[in-house]
Amino acid sequence: MKSSKPNLGTLGRILFAIPFGIIGLNHFFMVDFFSGMLTSFIPGGGFTILFTGFLLIAASVSIMFKRYVTLSCLLLSIMLLIFILTIHIPQLFDPLKAQVAFMQLLKDTALMGGALMIAHIYQPEKDKD
């Protein structure tokens, strides 16, 4: 079934992807800031931050340019779940970080839901002969 509002889906997909690209770039320019978010049991330090930035940029580009959208959204949702479990939940137990951690947890939960919805709904375009 063809959507009666194809531009709405395209706009939503692009608006969903852009922030991930920007945040991914920030991982390269603000390594010290993101290092402060890492809990002691996350290995790799700076490498982990840079690798995460690369993955966020790759997901953003993939979603915007409609390449491997379903796979990218599924992997993005797994990464967001990892952020929730390894960064946000542990920070809830630090009184100085708990309020911001709770907001970040809610944000990443919503983004994970959005990624899962896109993964479920997205249908690659058929070749037009």
Q: What is the pLDDT of residues 30-85, one digit of tens each?
A: 988 888 777 666 777 788 889 999 999 999 999 999 999 999 999 999 999 999 99
Task: Output the six-digit token pair for 114.
Answer: 């959005």
- Give the residue numbers spanning the domain of 29: 8-121
Closest by Cα among 10, 11, 12, 7 to 114:
12
**Could you give the CA distance from residue 80 to residue 124 in angstroms, rounded to a whole number?**
24
- Domain membership of residue 126 (yes or no) is no
Number of domains in the chain: 1
Does position 125 have pLDDT exceeding 80, yes or no? no
Query: Looking at per-residue confidence, does 117 or 43 come out higher?
Result: 117
In a domain, residue 85? The reply is yes
pLDDT band at 1 (very low <50, low <70, confident <90, very high): very low
In a domain, 69, yes or no: yes
Task: Tell me if 129 is assigned to some domain.
Answer: no
Which band of pLDDT confidence, cut at 50, 70 and 90, is reported for residue 9?
confident
Q: Is residue 45 part of a domain?
A: yes
pLDDT in the model for residue 7: 85
70 within domain boundaries: yes
Q: Are 93 and 79 in contact (CB under 8 A)?
A: no
Asked if the structure places residue 30 within a domain, the reply is yes
Percent of the chain scoring above 90 in pLDDT: 70
